[in-house]
Chains A and B, each alone.
Chain A
Amino acid sequence: MQQNLRWKLVTILVVLVGFGSVGVYPLVAAWRGWTKPAVLLEKQLKLGLDLKGGVHLVLRVNTDDALRIETETEMERLREELSKRGVTFTNVSAPDPTHFRVEGVPPAQDALFRQVVADQNLTDKFDRTPAVNGTYTFTMKPNVQVSLREEAVVQARETIERRVNELGVTEPSIAQQGQGGDQILVQLPGVTDVERAKGIIGSPGLLELKIVEQGPAASREALVPGGQVPSGMEVVPGVSGPGDPTGTVYYLVRRVPVVTGRDLRNARPTLDENNQPAVSFTLTTDGARRFGKATGENIGRQLAIILDGKVQSAPRIESRITSDGRITGSFTQEEVQNLALILRSGALPARMDYLEELTIGPSLGADSIRSGVIASIVGLLLVILFMLAYYRLSGVNAVVALIFNLVILLGLMAYIGAVMTLPGIAGFVLTMGIGVDSNVLIFERIKEELEAQRGVRAAINAGFSRVFWTLVDTHVAALISCAFLFQFGTGPIRGFATTLFIGLVSNLFTSIFVSKTLFELALARRRQVATLSI
């Protein structure tokens, strides 16, 4: 029994020191101004926007990009259809994001041209204005423009949210802003590497895999003599190779991508066969089907991996590839990490410009913070005092368990990179106030057992063992709701579920294991125990 007790104490001590050094030590160090050891201070609890402020970024979404993509896509569709149906024309072009023009349709084919346009449902989105010499100008309808712009901003916002999430920043503040609604405000607490965060948030992250027709070549002219790019093709610049990061080469590729970033299911950093950092990806079922078909038909050809309009590499297709692939190029380890993150969170629908970047102060004044913290301490002290007054020496047991709970919670929160806000602190204290329930349950049961004329040891054992299943039921029920909140909730709700989960597990450990061991420790020295201070 002594041996057993010793092991329990060792376990408890290890847990206390472990979580304490991650969760509590950095707080003490910050207060006393200690700076060592750095290993422990790295992971410390970060303070939220309300307590400490953070980085304030405002991005403008170039919504014109979204319009241009729409206009160009429709233009390409029309061009293909016209060619297929044998309508001749001299030129097709898109002079600006909201217009495109078809020139030189012969008068004899005018009716057929109109028919093709009607079949394509083009007039749903565009107004058609005929001019002399068989020229037609298509103008995007104003309501379509408005909804496309709005969509682009909403999509951009969602993508940014996912990226901030992937960066591990919790409790950010992200909102649309401005008269035109095309700005996005991003406030991030506790970010140390601002440049990295900016790079990741603002990077377009558009991945396209396209079949290479010709290339690489040193110049554009070498690929397309006379500057006439064949129909359905385009010239894309690329990095020349690992040895020469500054040089640019050009590829002639098919305009329509085989797959894009949208078809990715997952992306993660890895190493290629030369032990160079690379990103491996998994495609969705639909993406894998198209990728398999395209790679199967083009064995021996090169496949250009194009990221934000630049070819990163163009490996030769050796065999049919379906669901898994790898993006290689001259990447550093960090670039690969960032790229995987960006690909996972999806591409931005348009380019972004940073309008503002500055640090902002805490959103709560010093007085508000002080009163919040004081209220939390008062709340905690009230619980402690009550437990001591009501349960006497056994109350000490409960208070030790409570402090343990606090240390474990702080440690785990620091470890997962949680951000502390004032309401978070209040919630913490509340968790403690509710958490003593486990101790109360056990103690009240022990009291009942003592009244039933049991010995002290028997009463304690019976108290713990009978309440054990009550605790299991309450905690499992709570864990179930926790799991649902995490699975189906978003952002802050997930954060809440995580904290709740940690709190439940820690509470179960302290109220059953720690508290029981403390009782055993107190009784271990005494042979005959007649009374229990409870």
Chain B
Amino acid sequence: MHILKHTSFDFLRWRWHAIAASWIVIIAGLVTIATKGIPQGVEFAGGTVVIEQFERQVSVQQVRDALDRHYSGGGQNTVVQAYGAPEARQVMIRVPAVGSESGTSLSREAQQVEDALRQGGLPGFQRLRAEIIGPTVGAELKSKGLWATALSLVGILAYLAFRFQFSFGVGAVVATIHDLLITFAFLAFFRYDLTLNVIAAILTMTGYSTNDTIVIFDRIRENLRLMRRESLRDVINASVNQTLSRTIITSGTALLTALALFFFGGEVLHGFAFTMVVGIITGTYSSVFIAAAIVSLWPSSAPARAAAHAPAGLGAAPAPPARRPGAPAAAAPPPASQPQRRSKSPRKARAS
């Protein structure tokens, strides 16, 4: 079974359009963040903790549902926990702080929580306590997380520059930064809270994006040895086409799971799943339209011929396949001596 067979789309033809479109989304995102900010979850912003004594037994779910529906900015922002033994009928509710505020709003927020509970039709309750609570995740996590991400990008750049070429490293890293910006833009557009889960999704998505880019780069590197007469542009196009069905299947399966989480996972997983859905789409898109485009646009000395880019004998480059359908490579005879067939043991050689 094949999803796609022997395609030969001219992907690079659209690179400028794609780059322009990306810029528009990124700038719109940055403007949104600058004007409205990214709302932060209770983990980052801190907020108010209210402990209520209920007259009758209520489930955490009931309380959560009431807050979801009637507390402004409820949903995944709130933390609801049974406080002590269930028989005590006490519930602890944490809601995030709205803007910068001090003790004066404490009773107002507690009041809003109680209004939401009342609107949700919950039985009688009495406030035991209301307190201000600080963030569970300090500013340290944000600054260190940012540093860690930045340094890991530098690490990836160095690795790819070593294994491929410098321009490939730049392409992959720029594509990943692009994906981060796009994801933040969408988080800002759709007003999702920045929570630890969203951060985890962002990190996962970063890895996914790099992975996707490297797979395509790998094929470009392989084809650069095979298609010495073609222009770099043709080599890149051929490589993207050859890996296209793999790209679609992989992003498809990843997207399937992310969508399942988004649609069936409930309020709690919404932010996480949303980030992943955006991340997978942009990660796949950027591998072709940003990463490969940057490699094609890189001002190297005489980039017109693929031969100029062929790696100078990095042992890792896999052997050229005999014939690649759908690729212009069909015209180019494979080199007579196949360098380094990676047959790992004599046993396998016999098998063939």
Q: Which residues of A contact B (CB under 8 A)?
A: 1, 4, 49-50, 53, 56, 173-179, 181, 183, 185, 358-368, 371-372, 374-376, 378-380, 382-383, 386-387, 389-392, 422-423, 426-427, 429-434, 436-437, 440-441, 444, 447-449, 451-452, 454-455, 457-458, 461-462, 465-466, 468-470, 472-474, 476-478, 480-485, 487-493, 496, 500
Contact = CB atoms under 8 A, between A and B. Distances in A.
B327 to A, nearest CB: 10
Nearest to B350: A1
B250 A440 contact: yes
B253 to A, nearest CB: 5
Q: Which of A358, A365, A386 has the most CB of B within 10 A?
A: A365
B276 interface: yes
Given A365-B59, A436-B253, A469 B218 contact: yes
Interface string B259-284: 01101111111001100100000000
B99 interface: no
Contacts of B254: 430, 433-434, 437
B117 to A, nearest CB: 14
Contacts of A447: 2
Contacts of A375: 260-261, 263-266, 269
23 contacts: A175-B133, A179-B131, A358-B85, A361-B81, A362-B60, A365-B65, A368-B64, A371-B265, A371-B266, A374-B264, A375-B260, A375-B269, A382-B253, A426-B273, A427-B201, A433-B256, A437-B250, A448-B242, A452-B322, A470-B214, A478-B211, A481-B210, A489-B145
Q: Determine the main DSSP class of A at the interface with B.
A: helix
Contacts of A185: 49, 133
A212 to B, nearest CB: 40
Interface of B: 1-3, 46, 49, 59-65, 79-86, 92, 103, 106, 131-137, 140-141, 144-145, 147-149, 151-153, 155-156, 159-160, 163, 172, 196-197, 199-201, 203-204, 206-208, 210-211, 214-215, 217-219, 242-243, 245-246, 249-250, 252-254, 256-258, 260-261, 263-269, 272-273, 276, 316-319, 321-325, 341-344, 347-348, 351-352
A440 B2 CA distance: 12
B60 A364 contact: yes
Given A365-B64, A474-B211, A496-B200, A430 B261 contact: yes
Contact of B141 (A389, A390, A491): A491
Given A361-B81, A427-B204, A430-B254, 19 more contacts: A176-B133, A177-B134, A361-B86, A368-B61, A390-B3, A392-B1, A423-B196, A423-B197, A430-B204, A436-B250, A441-B250, A444-B246, A454-B352, A461-B348, A469-B316, A481-B153, A481-B206, A490-B141, A500-B203
B256 to A, nearest CB: 4
The 7 A-B pairs of least Cβ separation, nearest first, read A365-B61, A361-B82, A433-B257, A176-B134, A481-B152, A375-B264, A379-B257
A360 B323 CA distance: 64
A423 B257 contact: no
Nearest to A172: B136
A363 B83 CA distance: 10
Contact of A477 (B92, B160, B264): B160
Contacts of B266: 367-368, 371-372, 375
B217 to A, nearest CB: 8
A464 to B, nearest CB: 9
Contacts of A477: 156, 159-160, 172, 210-211, 214
